[in-house]
Chains A and B, each alone.
Chain A
């Protein structure tokens, strides 16, 4: 349980959901922290649409896997006895869509999960979405990196 004397408070947080293994832990963590300040949680999953299709092509609506990402996150939050509002977006760029959604909803925190992975050659890689959000989000950003696997430690 988060300690309300040391945990930063927020009113509304956008939890970025990638559909990967970090989704459940960050939703559970966000729910625990949000409970202390009764903050609002918004789970956002963005389906990237390449330039061969129009932006409003019927892609995510028909994609069961995209819907499932949000449903699993919602169930995880419910398991922690907290409500998570879920938003499904289509965009050309995931990072920009998350930042824009956070701005529009006046979120004061974005929470992101980062799986520990190495690029070919052995360097730790962070991808391009997280740097974009760190650079452009007007609000606070929490990046929760998963624990380093034993073989990398």
Chain B
């Protein structure tokens, strides 16, 4: 665009040049022929309110990131370990409690079996983590159990796995937060009364951290995870040295200790086996979160699969050492399970090893509370990714696949936070009430993904497929057995809710997909169809509330759309109709005005009926015309003024939206538009001069 600029004289008389304006350059950049890339300025809010909102959003969440910055958001292993493993590692903080609470039913002496139960769970952990290492290798695009089950078993199996994972992630947030708060009131009992408030604030903080983006979330979460791992290893080491040296401290049992029942359950026969299985099912919560790495493989730096697999191994080793170590030291120190208000098993171990109230004890409890708070983050990473994959497959609303300003899947993050907060409130932040709902979903997806992997190796026959299939097959059998045990033993305690929820979620996802498929079918254009210019006639109907600038603009827009223009005035006042017709014929000649008297004061009904009448009057041998209903709209300057206007326009739009062969055209007229208003018959008139209805909004707007 030259923009009327005159040539600039150079140093020599003949050397002249013209600077060409580049109006697109502030907002766009050409990246190829006919292809523009928007710059940040193109997304700048245009109103004061939007600008204020954006400033606050940028302060809270950080500056928006461009899509190409995503690769910079990929995680190195040292950040991925705390992000994806904090859930699994942190479950070592409460898994021991869950074993002890069951075993105590057989008397204090039965607590010594806890180490055997822990070792059995560690074996299961080894098999499951080896199996998931294979998933990382085979499915570098992530998705975990959902993708594996979908690709190798069936779509329904995939959806069952996805529903189970959703429940698992929601429960992780609720359970870990509740458990973190319980660690805090193990040290400061006065916090018990405000546990729900603390939990909700912590979920809000983690939500904000995640909305800021992956890398920043990793930076926030790395330190507490490593602090917990370091302190827990130190505690186990010191505990072992006390055990070996025969210097195990004798501490009094806490006041809240759970006393064995009067009638002890025997540890032999079927009853004993069931008790052991219950203890095993309780401790199996230690495995929750193991699958998160397999779900988040694309978040790793390249080579993604290898890095994810190595992180998985590192996580399993750490979790195994911590869980078995804490249980063993607790076992030898004679730790007793306590009620909800009492100190946790890990708090008792640290109190014995570091000394009650010592700085190391307080630091360890803080690090335990922190990692439990941050364990929630594993779900905040995995849930939105899974929801995005499902949304791309059409099983979730499409919003879940859209990235926010910081490249995070904002919808998934916010939905997860809200549901988890509601769960915490509903269960009053009680870990032991929440846990029965927890592990069933986890083992459903473990089993489905392992079975899926067995099918994968059989069909792909990659190198070493036989031993890989054996690993996954063993994982499938073991996790299925644990699933049956967990589901049957925890059924009455709340697992039945999960068993109802999984099919409900599956049906909901199938319903969403059917809706999307139906709309896609309705909107589809055959690939061989060549679009030709329209052959149908067009007509424009302008809804007229009075004569004002907005109406004049709408009439002119209608004239530019079609030759056949009719203005329709719906009135309940014959006197006003007469006055309008007189004025219309004088001021807007050439455009037919139809007045529809509406004695019952209805607006939308008579207009629709009039449109129907026009359609019926159309010659049957001609194709139906496209009817453009042109609605003048007065746009007030401020958002708070807008509530006063355009209620009728909105109503009309809503009614007309589904009408066949009808297009609704909104013609906005801003209050600061008068300079652009053209008096067609007075080309030299002062555009800012008086005009009878210059600032009058549509009359029937209320």
A is bound by B: yes
A residues neighboring B (CB under 8 Å): 46-47, 55-58, 60-62, 64-68, 70-72, 74-75, 86-93, 96-97, 99-101, 103-104
Across the interface, do B22 and A97 meet the contact criterion of CB distance under 8 Å? no
Q: A70-B25, A92-B14, A92-B15 are in contact. List 7 more A-B contacts (CB 8 A).
A: A61-B22, A74-B25, A90-B17, A91-B16, A96-B15, A99-B11, A103-B11
A55 to B18, CA, bound (A): 7
A46 to B19, CA, bound (A): 9
Kindly report which residue of chain B lies nearest to residue A136, judged by CB atoms: B11
**B21 interface residue per 8 A CB criterion:** yes
Across the interface, do B8 and A90 meet the contact criterion of CB distance under 8 Å? no
Across the interface, do B7 and A55 meet the contact criterion of CB distance under 8 Å? yes
Binary A-proximity of B25-45 (CB < 8 A = 1, otherwise 0): 100011111100000000000
Kindly report which residue of chain B lies nearest to residue A68, judged by CB atoms: B30
Across the interface, do A88 and B11 meet the contact criterion of CB distance under 8 Å? no
Across the interface, do A97 and B10 meet the contact criterion of CB distance under 8 Å? yes
Cβ contacts under 8 Å, B20 to chain A = 47, 60-61, 66, 88-90
- Contacts A99-B11, A103-B11 given; indicate if A91 touches B30 (C-beta within 8 A): no
A52 to chain B, nearest CB (A): 16
Across the interface, do B30 and A88 meet the contact criterion of CB distance under 8 Å? no
Across the interface, do A71 and B17 meet the contact criterion of CB distance under 8 Å? no
Across the interface, do B29 and A100 meet the contact criterion of CB distance under 8 Å? no
**B622 interface residue per 8 A CB criterion:** no
Kindly report which residue of chain B lies nearest to residue A97, judged by CB atoms: B17
Across the interface, do A64 and B30 meet the contact criterion of CB distance under 8 Å? yes
**B24 interface residue per 8 A CB criterion:** yes
The 30 listed contacts between A and B (C-beta, < 8 Å) are A46-B17, A55-B7, A55-B16, A55-B18, A56-B2, A56-B18, A64-B30, A64-B34, A65-B33, A66-B20, A67-B22, A71-B30, A71-B31, A72-B30, A75-B31, A86-B22, A88-B19, A88-B20, A89-B19, A89-B20, A90-B17, A90-B18, A91-B15, A91-B18, A93-B15, A96-B15, A97-B17, A100-B8, A100-B15, A101-B17
Across the interface, do B22 and A91 meet the contact criterion of CB distance under 8 Å? no
**B526 interface residue per 8 A CB criterion:** no
Contact of B30 among A62, A67, A101 (CB under 8 A): A67
Cβ contacts under 8 Å, A75 to chain B = 29, 31
Across the interface, do A96 and B12 meet the contact criterion of CB distance under 8 Å? yes
Q: Which 10 A-B residue pairs are closest in the complex by CB-CB distance? A: A100-B10, A91-B17, A61-B1, A96-B15, A68-B30, A71-B29, A88-B20, A97-B17, A90-B18, A60-B20
Binary A-proximity of B71-109 (CB < 8 A = 1, otherwise 0): 000000000000000000000000000000000000000
A93 to B17, CA, bound (A): 9
Query: How many contacting A-B pairs (Cβ < 8 A)?
Result: 83
Cβ contacts under 8 Å, A96 to chain B = 10, 12, 15, 17
**B684 interface residue per 8 A CB criterion:** no
A72 to B22, CA, bound (A): 14
A92 to B13, CA, bound (A): 12
Cβ contacts under 8 Å, A57 to chain B = 2
Across the interface, do A104 and B8 meet the contact criterion of CB distance under 8 Å? yes
Across the interface, do A56 and B7 meet the contact criterion of CB distance under 8 Å? yes
A70 to B34, CA, bound (A): 15
Contact of A74 among B10, B21, B29, B33 (CB under 8 A): B29
**B46 interface residue per 8 A CB criterion:** no
Kindly report which residue of chain A lies nearest to residue B24, judged by CB atoms: A67
Contact of A58 among B2, B6, B30 (CB under 8 A): B2
Cβ contacts under 8 Å, A104 to chain B = 8
Across the interface, do B25 and A71 meet the contact criterion of CB distance under 8 Å? yes
Kindly report which residue of chain A lies nearest to residue B32, judged by CB atoms: A68
A101 to B157, CA, bound (A): 68
A66 to B694, CA, bound (A): 45
**B5 interface residue per 8 A CB criterion:** yes
- Contacts A58-B2, A88-B20 given; indicate if A100 touches B11 (C-beta within 8 A): yes
A49 to B39, CA, bound (A): 30
Across the interface, do A87 and B24 meet the contact criterion of CB distance under 8 Å? no
Cβ contacts under 8 Å, B31 to chain A = 68, 71, 75
Cβ contacts under 8 Å, A70 to chain B = 22, 25
- Contacts A56-B2, A96-B12, A96-B15 given; indicate if A61 touches B21 (C-beta within 8 A): yes
B24 to chain A, nearest CB (A): 7
Across the interface, do B19 and A87 meet the contact criterion of CB distance under 8 Å? yes
B13 to chain A, nearest CB (A): 11
A88 to B14, CA, bound (A): 19
A119 to B25, CA, bound (A): 37
A101 to B29, CA, bound (A): 23
A24 to chain B, nearest CB (A): 14
Cβ contacts under 8 Å, B6 to chain A = 56
A56 to B4, CA, bound (A): 8
Cβ contacts under 8 Å, B5 to chain A = 56
A65 to B30, CA, bound (A): 9
